[in-house]
């Protein structure tokens, strides 16, 4: 009991120090530099990509080409901890269902250079959007932004402020405001409770709630678990009320934080694929099929699931186990 209280005390003191030293920004990012795996470990075709952020910071990511002709391309913004080697678990199933995916690390995460902070990660987000639109194997008219947790907040803000036409924007377990979510977290710890007012001293410049109405006429999908203890569902209701135009809110009954596409949620995966096909424009020209990948850094499969480089069968169920998704 005393040990737990001591740990809580230390955490609270550390939290206060971080708030005063970094202006709260550091509380939102917990990067991990080491990549624990890459897609080729389980036979998924990928391209290791690097591109500069808008301020020149080197960024790293993986481009996962669709199996067969791409129905569209998803630019994925991950959460605030670890890196793409763990967050790929949220999107690894999309290429087999016909969607390209670009997943990248913000500055300070994984193999990306620099140190994470609010302004920087938004520069990174816009740079990733520019990069993926310019790829010859991507149809820029069939592009979707998808973010989870803080990545959802970044995706919403980027979509609303970039001026780039998109097919859809999706935010799962996204919060509405940086000061609001920080205040809620501080109020939950007895040691930082008296200092929760400090949350309002941080910038609200990148709050998605202030710009979400500007996403229209692009379709907006918000997804949130009603048992999310990390970002309470009230944030989704706030965002949904502020949004305009074509908008949907899926409430995941019994769902926790970023749980819509977790193991056992195949119904939501199917529903999500159906949503994407509904919002995408008519496809008059097929995006060229990308197979084989062509270099030793790729591990390839073709549209029917055969690995065209090794000649063996890709077992997607086994892949899920290897990714610890099942």
Residue 206 has pLDDT above 50, yes or no: yes
Instruction: Domain 2-34+67-280: give its CATH architecture.
Output: 3-Layer(aba) Sandwich (3.40)
Is residue 307 pLDDT above 50, yes or no? Answer: no
Given a contact cutoff of 8 angstroms between Cβ atoms, the answer to whether 59 and 50 are in contact is yes
Diameter over CA atoms, the chain: 67
* pTM tops 0.85: no
* Res 215: pLDDT: 98
Per DSSP, the residues of 259-296 read: -TTSTT-HHHHHHHHHHHHHHSPP-SSPPPP--S--ST
- pLDDT surpassing 50 at residue 322: no
Which residues neighbour 122 within 8 Å (Cβ) at sequence distance 6 or greater? 154, 157, 158, 206
Q: What is the pLDDT of residue 289?
A: 57
pLDDT tens-digit readout, 134-186: 999 999 999 999 999 999 999 999 999 999 999 999 999 999 999 888 777 66
What's the CA gap between 298 and 48, in Å, rounded? 8
Report how far residue 235's alpha carbon sits from residue 174's, in angstroms, rounded to the nearest whole number. 7
Q: How confident is the model at residue 3 (pLDDT cuts 50, 70, 90)?
A: low
Using only C-alpha atoms, what is the Rg of the chain? 20
Q: State the average pLDDT over residues 54-70.
A: 97
Q: How large is the average pLDDT for residues 35-57? A: 94
Cα(132)–Cα(213) distance, integer angstroms: 25
Between residues 311 and 112, the one the model is more confident about: 112
Select the more confidently predicted residue: 196 or 32: 32
Average the pLDDT over 11-35 and give the result: 65
Domain boundaries, given as residue ranges, for the chain: 2-34+67-280
> How many percent of the chain have pLDDT more than 70?
73
Mean pLDDT in residue range 260-283? 92
Q: Are 186 and 177 in contact (CB under 8 A)?
A: no
Pick from 75-79, 243-247, 309-313: least confident: 309-313
């Amino acid at each position: 009991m005393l040990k737990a209280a001591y740990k809580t005390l230390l955490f609270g003191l550390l939290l206060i120090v971080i708030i005063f030293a970094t202006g709260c920004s550091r509380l939102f990012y917990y990067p991990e530099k080491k990549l624990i795996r890459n897609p080729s470990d389980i036979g998924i075709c990928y391209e290791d990509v690097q591109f500069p952020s808008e301020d020149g910071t080197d960024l790293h990511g993986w481009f996962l080409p669709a199996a067969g002709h791409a129905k569209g391309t998803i630019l994925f913004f991950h959460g605030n901890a670890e890196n793409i080697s763990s967050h790929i678990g949220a999107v690894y199933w999309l290429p087999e269902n016909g969607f390209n995916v670009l997943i990248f690390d913000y500055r300070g995460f994984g193999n990306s250079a620099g140190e994470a902070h609010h302004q920087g990660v938004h520069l990174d987000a816009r740079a990733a959007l520019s990069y993926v639109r310019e790829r010859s194997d991507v149809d820029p008219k069939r592009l979707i932004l998808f973010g989870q947790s803080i990545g959802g907040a970044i995706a919403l803000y980027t979509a609303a402020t970039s001026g780039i036409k998109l097919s859809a924007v999706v935010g799962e377990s996204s919060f509405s405001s940086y000061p609001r979510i920080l205040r809620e977290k501080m109020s939950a710890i007895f040691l930082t409770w008296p200092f929760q007012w400090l949350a309002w001293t941080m910038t609200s410049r990148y709050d998605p709630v202030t710009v979400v109405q500007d996403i229209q006429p692009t379709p907006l999908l918000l997804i949130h678990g009603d048992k999310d203890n990390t970002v309470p569902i009230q944030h989704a209701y706030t965002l949904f009320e502020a949004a305009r135009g074509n908008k949907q809110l899926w409430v995941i009954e019994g769902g926790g934080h970023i749980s819509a596409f977790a193991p056992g949620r195949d119904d939501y995966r199917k529903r999500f694929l159906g949503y994407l096909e509904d919002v995408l424009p008519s496809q008059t020209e097929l995006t060229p099929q990308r197979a084989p990948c062509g270099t030793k850094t790729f591990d390839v499969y073709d549209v029917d699931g055969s690995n065209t480089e090794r000649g063996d069968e890709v077992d997607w169920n086994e892949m899920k186990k290897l990714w610890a998704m099942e």
